Structure 1
Amino acid sequence: MTRPNLLHPALIALVVLTGIYFEPLREIAFRTGLEYGPQVLVNRLRPQPIVVDVNRNITYLGSYTSVYSDVQHFQNIFYAEEPSGNRRFAPPVPVDHRKGSVIDATQPGAWCPQGTGDILPFTSRVMNVSENCLSLRVARPRNVKSDAKLPVAVWIHGGGHALGSASEVLYTPDGLVGQAAADGQPVVWVAINYRLGFFGFATSKALVDAKHTNAGLRDQRAALEWVRDNIAAFGGDPHKVTVIGQSVGASDISLQLTAFAGKRGAPFQQAIMMSGGPGLNFNTKPDLVTKNTGDIARQVGCVRNGDDQSVETLQCLREADVDLLTNISVTASRAARPPFGEGFFYPTLDGDFIQDRPSQLMRAGKFAKGIPIIASWVTNDGAWYVPPPTTTDDEVLGSFGLWLFNLAGTTKTKLLELYPTEDFEHMVQQDDGPISAQYYRAAQMNRDIWFTCPVLDFAWQYLKNGGVESSQIRLYEHNATRYAPSFGMMGVPMWRVAHLSDIPYVLNVKGLGGGADNSHPQLELSKRVSRTITKFVGTGSPEGNGSGVESWPAAFHDVGKPELSKDFPDKLSLQVVGGPYGTTPVTIAKGENPSSAAEQAVYWEKLFSRCEFINSHQMREESGV
C-alpha cells in the first residue's frame, strides 16, 4: 500500500544530488534567503538530515525545524496502517514499507480525530485532524551514527484520552535533545500518536468478542514495538528505552505494565510517570463506555433491531463517515464532561488487554517486572478541575462528582473530614479575587484523588509485589510553573503550579508561548530538571554527573519486610523540585515531626492519612480503579 508520505525514489535522488553538486549556490542562497524566510535559508545552508535503514532498505528524509537548532527531526513516520473502514476500532496493523521506500518525514503528521480549535494559550491550535494518524516523530542530535546505540526516550502524551498529539508545540523536544548532546549524554527522542476518544476506546459486546477494545492502548504498544524494531537505524538502542508519560500518558504506562496481566512483559526498560498512575483510570468496568458507545451508534443511525451491541451495529460504525462520528462523539463527550470530554471514552476492562481492575492487578503482582520507575505529581495538580466560585461542601464534592459518581455517602463524609476547611485558609491571597478556602480544599482533594495518591499507590504496590528493588523507585513533587503569567491573563491566577506545569521543565522548552515565563531563572531550572531526566534515561539514576541532583533518595529506601506487609507505607522520601525551598530531598514519616521547612511543607499535605483512605479497598471499589 502506497503511503501518503512516501516520495518517489527519483525525486529524492534529485534532492540529494542538488545538495551535493550545487554547493557553490549556498552563498547565493545566503544572499537571497531572507525573502524566503529563515527555515528555507537554513535548509539551503546545510544538508538535509537523512537516515537509511540498511537492513530494510528504507530512507527517511528529515528536517531542522529551527534555524538555530542542531536537532534533526523525522516526523509523520507511520507505525501502523490507516485505522479506517474494517480497521476502525481494531488493533493496529503494522506498516510494511516496501524495500527501496523513501519516506518524507519533514512535516508533522495529522492529529488523531478530536475536537478542533484552541485549548490553552501555550498549546497548539488543533487543526490537522485525520483518521490516518498512527504515526510517530523522532528527534536526535546532529552527527549521530547508525551504530551509536544512544538511549531512547519515548513520549506518551496526556489529554484525558480526548486531546493531544506528538506534534503538540508544548512537547517540542529540541531543548531536551540539544542540552543532552551538549552535556555529552545524547539521547534519541520519540513521540507517538495513538487513537483517542470514541475511535480509541469505544466498547461493546461485539468489540469485546473480537478483542477489538482499548485500541488506543494497543496503538501505544505497537508504536513501542516499532521503536524496538526500527530505532537502531536512527542511532538509538532498542534495549535502552525509557517511556515518559504525563497525566493519562503516565496512567497508560501503568496499564502497559499490567497489560495481559503482565504475561507479555513490557516493550520498554524504564519509565517516568508524570502525574498519573492506575488510579487515574476511574470506572474501569465497561458499563459507562458501553452505554456511551451505544448512544453514539444510535445518533449515527447504526443501531439495528434495537441492539446497539451487535456485529451489525459495529459494521455500520466502521462504514460511517469519520467526520460525522468525530463531530457527534466529541460533542457528546464535551457536553457530558466539559470542557474537553475527559472520562467519556477511556480504557476499560475487556478480559484481554485489561483483565482486571488495575489496582487489583497491582496487588496480585500481575504486571511486568524489572522496570525502574520515576513517578511524580505537581503541587496544584487538581487546581483546574474546580470551579473558582466553589464555596460549600456540596460544591467541593461536586468538583469531582461527574467522574466519581458511585461514592457512598460515608466516603464523601470521610473525605470532608480528612480535608478540613481551616487547613486551606492560609492559601487565600488577595490577588486571587473572590476565591475562598473551599476552592483550595477542593483543589487539594482533586489533586490527591486524581494524581498524588494513585502515584503513591502504584509505586508502593510495584515494590511490595516484586516489581523492582527499593533502590529503583523514585518520587518527586514538582513545585514550579512557567505558566503564571498565562494563568493571570486567563483570569485564573489561583491555579498556581497547576497540571502540565512540569512539562516545559522536563522537556527544557526554551521559548514557551502564550505569555509564559521564559526568564533566565526559569530557563536555568528547566535545564536542571531536563538534565536529571536525561541522566535517568541514560544511566538509570537521576543523580550526579552534572544532572544538577546530587542526592535523590529512593522512595522507600529503608523499608523492611514488616513494613512491606502493610497496604500503605509509614515513611517515604521524595525530591521537591523548585519553589521557595529549591530542589531538595525530603523524607517524611507517619507520626514524626519534620525537621526542615521543605519537609514541613510536604508533611502539611497529610499524605499518609489522606492517601491511605483514597487508596483503601472501600474507595477503590467505589471509584472503579
Structure 2
Amino acid sequence: MVVLFWSSPQFPMYDWVAQDQNVIAVSMNYRLHLFGFLDGLAVRADGTPNAGLLDQRAALLWIKRHISKFGGNPNDVTIAGESAGGASVVLQSTAWGGKSPVPFKRAIAQSIGLYPLPLDSEIEGVFNNVTTAAGCPASGSEAMRCLREAPLSTLIKSINNVRTNFLAPTIDGPNGFLPDLPSRLIAQGKFRHDVDLVAGHMTNDGRNFAGNPRNVKTDADIVTAILNRYRHMTNATLEKVLKLYPEASVPGSPFVDNYDRLAPISVKLTHSTTRDQHWANATRALGRKNVYAFRFNVPNPVTLAVNPWQGVMHASDVYYLFNGATGSTPFFAPFNTTQAPVAQEIMQYWTSFTRSGNPSKFKRSYSPAWPDYIGDRRIVMSEDIGGAEITQRASLRKFRFTNKNDAASG
C-alpha cells in the first residue's frame, strides 16, 4: 500500500490508484502554518513544536494498526510525496535522528522541497508577530492560553503577519522530532537505514521559482532571487555560487544569459534537488540494496503552454503520475500519443516499487529496466526511449557544494 503526502484527499487526481494498480492508497491531512509549526520558548514550555510532523506520524501509526481491515499489509507500507510532500518523506525518515522504528518499509521522495530552517532568533520573532497580530502577550504561559482561546478567524489573519516559509519545521532539540538539519542528519547516518528508497527530481526543477526571464539581467538580480528563498546564505557562499555558474562571457560557460544561469541555481539551491542524491548516496553507502534515483524529463504541457521558458518544471511528474492532473481547473487534460505511455510508465514504476521494492519487477514491457543506484546511475524518464545515465562530474561538484552549504547555513 502507499501513503500519500500530497495536497488534499478531495483532489480527484488521486483516483488513479483505484483503477488497476493493485495497491491501497491512503492520503492524510496534517496541520500547517501556526497550527502545525508554531515554535518558540512559550510553545516548548506549554505546547509541542513540529505538531504537523507529529500529525503525520500519528496518521502513519493509525494506518499500521488498522490497514489490515481494508485488505492492506501493515508491514508493507510505502510513503510517497512531492515537493513539501517529498520533504515530509525525508523528515519522517530522519525523525528522532533515526533512533525510532518507522511505520513504513519504503519511501518515494520527488523534488524534495526543504527550505532553510528558521534560526532561533527568527523563531521567537515569528512567535511575537503571531501573538501581536492575535492581540496576545508575547511570552509566558499567558501567551499560549490567549492563543488557544483566540477565535479561529483571528489566528488565520495572524498568519499574514509572518513571512512566507517561516512557519515551517524547526530543530526542536536533541530529543526532538527534528534534532538537527535533515541534510546533516543524513550525512551523519542519523536516519532509518532499513527503508527502500526512490528519489529524484525534474530536469528543470526550480525554474518556476526563478521568476520571469525579463527580470533577470544582472548578477544582482541573481543574488536577489537566491536570497528570497535561501536567506541565510553568506556573501562568501554567494560568490562561490556565481563562480560555479559563470556568466555567459566567461570562456567555457554553458550559459547564454543570466536567466539561463539562475535556472540551474534554483534547481540546485533554492529547491534543493540535490538532496535526493545526498540521501540515495548515504543510504547506499550503509548497505541498503533497494535504492533508486531518477530524473524526469517530460514537461507538464498545460504549464509549458503558458510559461515555455520553464521547461520540465517543478511537479511535471505529478501530471503524469496522476493520469493528467493539471493542478488547476480543469483538473485533467487529455494526453497525446507520446504522453500517454509516459503516464503508464511512471504509474507502473511507482506501483511496482510500492509492491516489491523493485520498480522494474512489474514495469511496462516497453520501459527500460531501472538500475540500482550504483556509481551515481539514475533512470531518465522521457517521451522517447528512456534509459540510465550517470551524473556528470561537474554536476557532482555542484551537488557536494550545495549539501555542504545547506548543512552549514540551515
Normalised to the residue count of structure 2, the TM-score between the two structures is 0.91
Tell me how far apart the structure 1 counterparts of residues 10 and 272 of structure 2 sit (CA, whole Å): 25
Tell me how far apart the structure 1 counterparts of residues 237 and 334 of structure 2 sit (CA, whole Å): 40
Tell me how far apart the structure 2 counterparts of residues 312 and 458 of structure 1 sit (CA, whole Å): 42
Q: Is the 8 A contact 2:201 2:295 kept in 1?
A: yes
**Matched position secondary structure for 2:376:** strand
Letter in 1 for 2:259: Y
Q: CA deviation at 1:495?
A: 1.4
- 1:359-398 to structure 2, matched below 5 A, reads 359-388=183-212, 389-398=215-224
* Counterpart pick for 2:247 among 421, 428, 431: 421
Q: Is the 8 A contact 2:368 2:386 kept in 1?
A: no
Q: CA deviation at 1:424?
A: 5.2
Q: CA deviation at 1:442?
A: 1.0
* Counterpart pick for 1:502 among 299, 317, 320: 317
Q: Is the 8 A contact 2:360 2:370 kept in 1?
A: yes
Look up the match of 2:227: 401
Tell me how far apart the structure 2 counterparts of residues 259 and 510 of structure 1 sit (CA, whole Å): 31
Tell me how far apart the structure 2 counterparts of residues 511 and 211 of structure 1 sit (CA, whole Å): 39
Q: CA deviation at 1:510?
A: 6.8
Q: CA deviation at 1:241?
A: 0.5
- 1:535-554 to structure 2, matched below 5 A, reads 535-548=352-365, 549-554=367-372
Tell me how far apart the structure 2 counterparts of residues 217 and 258 of structure 1 sit (CA, whole Å): 11
Look up the match of 1:530: 347
> Against the structure 1 CA distance between its residues 510 and 438, is the aligned structure 2 distance closer, same or farther, given a 3 Å change threshold?
closer
Letter in 2 for 1:576: V
> Against the structure 1 CA distance between its residues 316 and 208, is the aligned structure 2 distance closer, same or farther, given a 3 Å change threshold?
same
Q: CA deviation at 1:379?
A: 1.1
Q: Is the 8 A contact 2:181 2:407 kept in 1?
A: no
Structure with the higher helix share, 1 or 2? 2
Letter in 2 for 1:332: N
Cα deviation, 1:239-294, whole Å, max 9, x if unaligned, reads: 110000111211121111111122222111100000117xx241254432331121
> Against the structure 1 CA distance between its residues 328 and 206, is the aligned structure 2 distance closer, same or farther, given a 3 Å change threshold?
closer
> Against the structure 1 CA distance between its residues 309 and 204, is the aligned structure 2 distance closer, same or farther, given a 3 Å change threshold?
farther
Letter in 2 for 1:287: S
Give yes or no for the alignment of 1:355 onto 2:168: no
* Counterpart pick for 1:244 among 77, 80, 84: 80
> Percent identity over the alignment?
27
Q: CA deviation at 1:446?
A: 1.0
Q: Is the 8 A contact 1:243 1:268 kept in 2?
A: yes
* Counterpart pick for 1:316 among 146, 150, 157: 146
Tell me how far apart the structure 2 counterparts of residues 458 and 411 of structure 1 sit (CA, whole Å): 23
**Matched position secondary structure for 1:365:** coil
Q: Is the 8 A contact 2:117 2:169 kept in 1?
A: no
Kindly indicate whether structure 1 or structure 2 has the higher relative contact order, using CA contacts under 8 Å at least 6 residues apart.
2
Q: CA deviation at 1:554?
A: 1.3
Question: Which consecutive unaligned segments of at least 5 residues does structure 2 have?
Answer: none
Tell me how far apart the structure 2 counterparts of residues 547 and 173 of structure 1 sit (CA, whole Å): 21
**Matched position secondary structure for 1:206:** helix
Cα deviation, 1:153-184, whole Å, max 9, x if unaligned, reads: 10002xxxxxx423234xx222233131xxxx
> Against the structure 1 CA distance between its residues 527 and 179, is the aligned structure 2 distance closer, same or farther, given a 3 Å change threshold?
farther
Letter in 1 for 2:268: D
Q: Is the 8 A contact 1:573 1:588 kept in 2?
A: yes
Letter in 2 for 1:478: F
Letter in 1 for 2:400: E
Tell me how far apart the structure 2 counterparts of residues 512 and 197 of structure 1 sit (CA, whole Å): 21
Letter in 1 for 2:342: L
- 1:136-151 to structure 2, matched below 5 A, reads none
Look up the match of 1:149: none
Q: CA deviation at 1:201?
A: 0.3
> Against the structure 1 CA distance between its residues 228 and 192, is the aligned structure 2 distance closer, same or farther, given a 3 Å change threshold?
same
Give yes or no for the alignment of 1:462 onto 2:283: yes
Tell me how far apart the structure 2 counterparts of residues 488 and 589 of structure 1 sit (CA, whole Å): 30
Q: Is the 8 A contact 1:577 1:583 kept in 2?
A: yes
> Against the structure 1 CA distance between its residues 555 and 546, is the aligned structure 2 distance closer, same or farther, given a 3 Å change threshold?
closer
Letter in 1 for 2:200: S
Q: Is the 8 A contact 1:511 1:518 kept in 2?
A: no
**Matched position secondary structure for 2:282:** helix
Q: CA deviation at 1:506?
A: 2.1
Question: Which consecutive unaligned segments of at least 5 residues does structure 1 have?
Answer: 1-151, 158-163, 181-185, 427-436, 557-570, 591-605
Decide which structure has the larger Cα Rg and report it.
Answer: 1
Q: Is the 8 A contact 1:411 1:619 kept in 2?
A: no
Give yes or no for the alignment of 1:175 onto 2:16: yes
Look up the match of 1:59: none
Q: Is the 8 A contact 1:386 1:442 kept in 2?
A: yes
Look up the match of 1:154: 3
Q: CA deviation at 1:512?
A: 7.4
Look up the match of 1:475: 293
**Matched position secondary structure for 1:615:** helix
Tell me how far apart the structure 2 counterparts of residues 612 and 363 of structure 1 sit (CA, whole Å): 11
Letter in 1 for 2:293: L
Tell me how far apart the structure 1 counterparts of residues 199 and 115 of structure 2 sit (CA, whole Å): 16
Cα deviation, 1:519-565, whole Å, max 9, x if unaligned, reads: 23212210111011001111110014343534211112xxxxxxxxx
Give yes or no for the alignment of 1:209 onto 2:45: yes
Tell me how far apart the structure 2 counterparts of residues 514 and 494 of structure 1 sit (CA, whole Å): 22
Q: Is the 8 A contact 1:202 1:290 kept in 2?
A: no
Q: Is the 8 A contact 2:60 2:103 kept in 1?
A: yes
Cα deviation, 1:467-515, whole Å, max 9, x if unaligned, reads: x42x321100011123x344434xx221121111111222334787647
Look up the match of 1:609: 397
Q: Is the 8 A contact 1:372 1:472 kept in 2?
A: yes
Tell me how far apart the structure 1 counterparts of residues 133 and 261 of structure 2 sit (CA, whole Å): 40
Tell me how far apart the structure 2 counterparts of residues 317 and 505 of structure 1 sit (CA, whole Å): 42
Normalised to the residue count of structure 1, the TM-score between the two structures is 0.61
Q: Which moved more, 1:414-423 or 1:388-397?
A: 414-423
Letter in 1 for 2:111: S
Q: CA deviation at 1:209?
A: 2.9
Tell me how far apart the structure 1 counterparts of residues 61 and 187 of structure 2 sit (CA, whole Å): 27
Tell me how far apart the structure 1 counterparts of residues 181 and 57 of structure 2 sit (CA, whole Å): 19
Q: Is the 8 A contact 1:396 1:438 kept in 2?
A: yes
Letter in 1 for 2:362: N
* Counterpart pick for 2:379 among 567, 570, 575: 575
> Against the structure 1 CA distance between its residues 380 and 237, is the aligned structure 2 distance closer, same or farther, given a 3 Å change threshold?
same
Look up the match of 2:108: 272
Look up the match of 1:183: none
Number of aligned pairs? 398
